[in-house]
Structure 1
Amino acid sequence: MAYIDLTTKNFNEVLDNNEIVIIDFWAEWCGPCQKFAPIFEESSEHHSDVVFAKIDTEDQSVIAQHYGVISVPTVMIMRDGIIVINHEGTLTEAAIYELITHVRCLDMDKVREDLDNNEE
């Protein structure tokens, strides 16, 4: 499974209909983004239960600004629509695997409880 391009038109639908979404925020002018792209795509081939998506921060600046992306590449992993990983910089394929494994094991009831407690 390759990645999908997220835009303001499909963003909410993709997040609402998938348990785990890993997003690469990137820009065409970014050298590290270009080097990370094949790693991200290769990882998508090994995790069919995870949606891999890319957001071009130049083209989709509204989404990037909403999520406070100030550096590219930035990788965010969302589970049940909640950001559980926010990483600036590139990752190795092994690191992506480890992060996905970690995210799969999260107790989302506890995550939501912690979020509620932090908002008070």
Structure 2
Amino acid sequence: MATTDVTATTLEQTITDNDIVLVDFWADWCGPCKQFAPVYQKASEKHEDIVFAKVDTEAEQQLAAQAGITAIPTLMAFREGVLVFSQAGALPGPQLEQLIDQVKGLDMDEVRAKVADAQAEQQA
């Protein structure tokens, strides 16, 4: 599957409707973003079961702000609607593959339990 451009109006639905979604926050003027783009594209062609989304931070400045993007490229990974990874910086191909394997291997019942525990601590 090729990469998919998402916007503020389509991001939430994309995350909700798919099991695993990777989101690359990028900009056209960003050198590291341009270096990461072919790595991301290649992974998208290899992993057809994952949605590889891209957010142009210049066109979607409000979305980038809401997502707390302070440096680009930033890669986020969502599994079953839960943010499970967020990191700024371009990943080399092998590290991206390792991240994908880790996201696929997550025990989501355990992840949801940890999220619930963290939310309970914040409310206490």
Query: Which TM-score band applies after superposition, normalised by the shorter structure?
Result: over 0.9
Whole-Å separation in 2 of the counterparts to 1:83 and 1:46: 22
Post-superposition Cα deviations, 1:70-96, rounded to whole Å, max 9, x if no partner, equal: 000000010011111111100111111
- Which structure has the larger Rg? 2
Between the aligned residues of both structures, percent identity stands at: 41
Q: Residues 38-117 of structure 1 correspond to what in structure 2 (within 5 A)? A: 38-117=38-117
| Structure 1 residue 7 displacement after superposition | 0.5
Can you list the C-alpha shifts for 1:35-79, whole angstroms capped at 9, x where unaligned? 111111011110000000100111112221111110000000100
Q: How many residues align?
A: 120
TM-score, normalisation: structure 1:
0.95
Secondary structure of the equivalent of 1:45? helix
Unaligned runs of 5+ in 1: none
List structure 1 segments (4+ residues) > 2 angstroms apart after TM superposition.
none
Q: CA RMSD in A?
A: 0.9
CA offset at residue 100 of structure 1? Answer: 0.9
Q: TM-score, normalising length from structure 2?
A: 0.92
